[in-house]
Amino acid sequence: MHHDGLEEYRSNGESHEGIREIRLAAALLEAADTLSDGFDTGLYLRRLSDHCVALSGARAAGIMLVEGDETVSFAASTLHEDVALDLLRAQSHSGPCLDTHGSGKPVAPVSLLGAHAAARWPEFTERALSHNVTATFAVPLRRGERTLGALNVFVPALPEPPSPQAEFAVQLAQLIADAAAVGLANHRAHSQYRTLAAQLQTALSSRVRVEQAKGMLAERWRTGVDEAFAALRQYARRHRLPLDLVATAVIEDRPEAAPLRDRPSGLS
């Protein structure tokens, strides 16, 4: 979902704050749009990272999704995507993403130039400085009590002295991250519902075919449906075939159901 009207809005002389409000609204709307059939998780997270960069003025941003204790996927902003992905991968053992995911609380903007950051996140800090990223912050993707991952924002430097804008950027990022967590949770629930519905439909269709097949056999052999079902089930077990497959073969009069055309001698 792209919003080219932002440029027109800017050309009409409206304030930068107004533009940012529209962009934030667009980001939250995109975060909620997760129930379409063609939903792409990677594209979804990349677009939200792009919104975060645009709103915060950061160099790049990326999202890490975590299942249990394992990282399951990464996504990064289009702007400096290679840098963001490299910095996400550098957090296999420690980093702002893992800290905020573990605590469920934001990691406030921190400079990576001091000894504290190097001791806290050695591999990440070294990699960040090699990309001329000297500051970062991270926020959790949280849905109620559950944390799905983290949004990590990379900036060239922190203002001196610390600016209220830095805290505002964290709050904006947290809004986007929370909306993303809701969107992802809704998508997962929607997918599980559709899978369950498909399974129930398959089971129902199978039951209908079995009922139809045993009715056909009972009529063909002039016997009860219970006896026909027992013969159908016995044939499936003897030949190690699914009952539904045998029932379908009977209904469609396939060659593999030929032994069931005649009444078994054991039926009275």
DSSP, residue by residue, 236-248:
HHHTT--HHHHHH
Q: Would 20 be classed as within a structural domain?
A: no
* Same structural domain, 165 and 123: yes
Upper half-sphere CA count for residue 194 (Cβ side, 13 Å):
9
Q: Please check whether residue 131 is in contact with residue 86, taking contact to mean a CB–CB distance below 8 angstroms.
A: yes
Is residue 11 assigned to a domain? Answer: no
Residues 60 and 169 grouped into a single domain:
yes
Strand partners, 150: 64, 140
Mapping DSSP to helix (H, G, I), strand (E, B) and coil, where does residue 118 land? helix
On whether both 237 and 176 belong to a single domain, the answer is: no
Please compute Rg for the chain using Cα positions.
29
Domain that holds residue 131: 41-182
201 to each of 189, 193, 208, how far by Cα in Å? 18, 12, 10
171 with 207, same domain: the answer is no
| 102 within some domain | yes
Query: Cα separation of 221 and 223, whole Å?
Result: 5
Does 62 reside within a domain? yes
Residue 256 included in any domain: yes
Quote the pTM value.
Answer: 0.65
Local structure of 109: helix, strand or coil:
strand
Q: Note whether residue 23 is domain-resident.
A: no
Print pLDDT tens along the chain (268 aa).
444 444 443 444 455 666 777 777 787 778 778 777 778 888 988 999 999 998 888 899 999 998 877 777 889 898 899 999 999 999 989 999 999 999 999 999 999 988 888 899 999 999 999 999 999 999 999 888 788 999 999 988 766 555 667 778 888 899 999 988 888 887 777 666 667 777 777 777 888 888 888 888 888 888 888 888 888 888 888 888 888 888 888 888 888 777 887 776 655 4
Q: What is the pLDDT of residue 4?
A: 45
Domains contained in the chain, number: 2
Which amino acid, 146?
R
CATH of the domain at 45: 3.30.450.40
Same domain, 62 and 120: yes
Do 112 and 76 lie in one domain? The reply is: yes
Residues 171 and 233 in one domain: no
**53 inside domain:** yes
| Position 140 in a domain | yes
Q: Please report the pLDDT score of residue 160 as a whole number.
A: 57
**In the listed set 148, 182, 216, which residue is the last one of a domain according to the structure?**
182
What is the CATH number for 226? 1.10.10.10
Q: Are residues 168 and 225 in the same domain?
A: no
How high is the pLDDT of residue 124? 95
Q: Are residues 242 and 210 in the same domain?
A: yes
pLDDT of residue 5: 41
